[in-house]
Amino acid sequence: MTNGQILLAAPLDIDLSVEAGEWPPQERLAELVDRAAAAVFAEVGAFHGGRSELSVVFCDDAAIRKLNADWRDKDKPTNVLSFPAFAVARSEALPPMLGDIVLAAETVTREAALEGKPVENHIIHLVVHGLLHLLGHDHETDPQAEEMEALERAALARLAIPDPYA
């Protein structure tokens, strides 16, 4: 139970890897990812059955810069990238694989320090953000951004994490 609300386990099998960068211990990262995923699914509701696989990769700025250049034509590091494996429809079961979420150590640490927040809270926020992308949410337009940010705020509130957009 967190913040007075029960979080149900997410319908995910999570494959977590630490490839590079300075991160908390892998066991702690697994706890953070589990909490983030449970909060997202508590917020978006259940799908019509099925379990899915999620890959979460913790790397450094050099690795994410290469991914960002290769896949988005942006030759710079970023905090998080999401790579969906399948399109997700709420009227169907979860696909067998949701996709990958990749986070970059230096950028995540720098942003947390600049924003005066614990690194673990920022990691959870970025996993929430990435998972929402894999579940079909986006922020390309203002209405999409408002909807996605509202879901992020609500999921984080379930974990007693302050609004990252305040």
**Residue 4 located in a structural domain:** no
How many structural domains is the chain composed of? Answer: 1
Q: Which pTM value belongs to this model?
A: 0.90
Give me the CATH number covering residue 76: 3.40.390.30
163 lies in some domain: no
Domain carrying residue 107:
12-158
Whether 67 maps to a domain, the answer reads: yes
CB-neighbour burial class of residue 106 (10 A; exposed 0-12, middle 13-18, buried 19+): middle
Query: pLDDT of 120-163, one tens digit each?
Result: 999 999 999 999 999 988 888 878 888 889 999 999 999 999 99
> Nearest CA to 120 among 21, 16, 36, 18?
36
Residue 3 in any domain: the answer is no
Residue 6 lies in a domain: no
**What is the tens place of the pLDDT at every residue in 71-80?**
999 999 999 9
Query: Is 49 inside any structural domain?
Result: yes
For residue 11, what pLDDT is reported? 78
The mean pLDDT of 20-39, rounded to a whole number, is: 95
Question: Which pLDDT score, from 0 to 100, does residue 90 have?
Answer: 66
Radius of gyration of the chain (CA): 15
- Report yes or no on 2 lying in a domain: no
Q: Is residue 130 part of a domain?
A: yes
Average pLDDT over residues 58-84: 95
